[in-house]
Amino acid sequence: MSDASASILPSATSHIWPASPLGEWRDTYATLHRWLQIVGKTRLALAPMQNHYWHCTLYVTARGLGTSPMPFDGESVEVELDFIDHSLLIRTSRGDRRSLPLRARSVAAFYREYVALLGSLDIWPRIWPVPVELPDRLRFDKDDGHCSYDADAAYRCWRILAGCDRVLKEFRGAFLGKSSPSHFWWGSFDLACTRFSGRQAPTHPGGVPNCPDYVTREAYSHECISVGWWPGTVGGLEEPAFYAYSYPEPPGCAGAPIAPAAAYYHSGMREWILPYDAVRTAEDPDAALLAFCQSTYTAAADLAHWDRAALERTSMAQSSSREQ
């Protein structure tokens, strides 16, 4: 274990849902967001296409965020950002291992070192070095302005993602229809799980900043209800929060009853919002988050006339592997 991780573990793990005010780590957030886009674009380049662009997402691991194995030249490679030891790790099925310390450095420096590390393994993915879903288009290899890394803040963010991932996986288990994994979208820096009705959706209007409309239209090609977490947005909702929404949005969502009491409908975002602090300070945070997941899904599915009887399990106990 590194000295950096040893110094932050006692306070950061005092509970599973740590505080993470956006204002306290906004510079690290901006830098880390771009680092994660660089790693995510590696998976976009190497992994085979999947519906809704699921092939490009990252996943919560026991130590951070990772790509899962990606094919290259008959072998496989995976990349993981370890937020306990604060190191980026590259591992291949040939037994190769490379690492890069996570510390304060510019996005440009990170990009150069990361690409060189892949190149030392003879892996040369085609990475478009421009941010997506962000207001700026400053190329990664030219970005010397974003250069912050607060190890404690990055660790606390990962702990929240790990807690959210655990609850979303439990929530996902009750659904028989098509559902995404719990996965991390590096474009928007959010962890989400999405359920589908099985019916096609109207063409999405697009318009996501610095993201081709064909990507958004593939992502929303079919009716869906999504729930997830993100750290907040500078200049927007500047607090970490859970969100839920339906595409297309059926009439009546704004007035639908949802839980817990702190949750509300945000008319500007057209999403249900549950402040993260309401969950982390709840007597039972997991139960509060599950209530939000279930109540928003129920409201949207009923308003959109989903065939819930065909899409949902009547009893999770019937399928529990723990009873076998």
Quick one: 111 exposed, middle or buried, by C-beta within 10 A (0-12, 13-18, 19+)?
buried
Q: What's the pLDDT at 317?
A: 44
Q: What's the pLDDT at 120?
A: 98
Give the pLDDT band of residue 314 (cuts 50, 70, 90).
Answer: confident
User: What are 137-158's pLDDT values in tens digits?
Assistant: 999 999 999 999 999 999 999 9
d(CA 240, CA 232) in angstroms, rounded, equals: 5
Q: Do residues 172 and 311 touch, judged by C-beta distance below 8 A?
A: no
Peptide bond into 260 cis (omega under 30): yes
User: What are 285-303's pLDDT values in tens digits?
Assistant: 999 999 999 999 999 999 9
pLDDT at residue 323 tops 60: no
Strands 271-275 and 241-247: antiparallel
User: What are 159-218's pLDDT values in tens digits?
Assistant: 999 999 999 999 999 999 999 999 999 999 999 999 999 999 999 999 999 999 999 999
Q: What's the pLDDT at 315?
A: 65
pLDDT at residue 11 tops 90: no
Q: Do residues 39 and 50 touch, judged by C-beta distance below 8 A?
A: no
d(CA 263, CA 299) in angstroms, rounded, equals: 13
Across the range 78-86, mean pLDDT stands at: 98
Quick one: 187 exposed, middle or buried, by C-beta within 10 A (0-12, 13-18, 19+)?
buried
